[in-house]
Amino acid sequence: MINCGLSKGDSMRFRLRVATFLSIWGLVSGEVAAAAPASATDIVFDATAGQQSYLWTRNVPVTSDQKADDRLAVHCRYADGTALPAGEEAGAYVRWMFTAPTTGSYRCRVSAGTELARKVYSGSARWTLPATGRQVVAAGGTATTLEHVYTPSGAHRIAIVLDARLTGASMAHTWIEAQPQTSAGAPCGGPFNSPLAKWTRDRQHRGAMNTLYLDTSLLGGCPRLLLSLKIQNVSDTPLTVLGGHPSGGIAATHGIAFTY
């Protein structure tokens, strides 16, 4: 079983430029708060309009090459059971940054009966690949998706999560690229990459989870990052990157970044 929280000792390891592959399941800073984040299958909490909450599944049994279970959908509603306003994103697979559309009480849950945890971080951002961003990656080809300019603030460590929903080809490799930029958008030093993740097809749709951790000191004074997800099709058949919200407001391919 993997627990996504960090002990005090764990927090020291995140001074490394990138985390290990098995960190894909969640992020919690042991230095931000001494107490462990609240967790349960079903979480109820209050939030002000626009406040963002990082939600992730915990205690998920995985091996180093196991994919996210399709049933692990994080889904949020108002605490009284009312759906979020039309057009609002309502969740994602495995981990997600919830943005409160109004001030009120909310209930979020994970559909597979595992634990769901919540934490509020500074400098948080969320973006989703729209339905029009759906891509077909030819056999042997590499695609770039989920591009987003992120300006870190509020703390000296950065966590970046780029998760894609894939279908089609039997095998793919994915990784995050984070290119430091000047305020004008020019490259500022070389890019940072997350560890290469390898995904094999065991169901029609699968999640490709990618995480990169950086210290702001590594940016050399560059104020922002151009983030993107690289997807390499290493099969002999096409691969499709899904966009939009195929079911119940659940994001297919999305990005998260925050400081801690």
The whole-model pTM stands at 0.82
Asked if 8-15+23-121 and 125-259 have one fold, the answer is yes
For 199-216, give one letter per residue: b (16+ CB within 10 A) or e. bebeeeebbbbbbbbbeb
Q: Identify the CA nearest to 99 among candidates 206, 122, 91, 199.
A: 91
Per-residue pLDDT 10s for the chain (260 aa) are 333 333 333 333 333 333 322 333 344 333 222 234 555 788 999 999 999 999 998 876 543 334 445 568 899 999 999 999 999 999 998 999 999 999 999 999 987 668 899 999 999 999 999 999 999 999 999 999 999 999 999 999 999 999 999 998 889 999 999 999 999 999 999 899 999 999 886 555 578 999 999 999 999 999 999 999 999 999 999 999 999 998 788 999 999 999 99
Q: Is 113 exposed, middle or buried (0-12, 13-18, 19+ CB in 10 A)?
A: exposed
Q: Identify the CA nearest to 194 among candidates 209, 206, 216.
A: 209
Q: Identify the CA nearest to 165 among candidates 242, 57, 244, 230.
A: 242
CATH class of residue range 8-15+23-121: mainly beta
Domain boundaries, the chain: 8-15+23-121, 125-259
- Domain at 125-259, CATH homologous superfamily: icosahedral virus (2.60.120.660)
Adjacent-strand bridge partners of 135: 241
Q: Are 21 and 174 in contact (CB under 8 A)?
A: no
Residues 250, 45: Cα–Cα separation, whole Å = 20
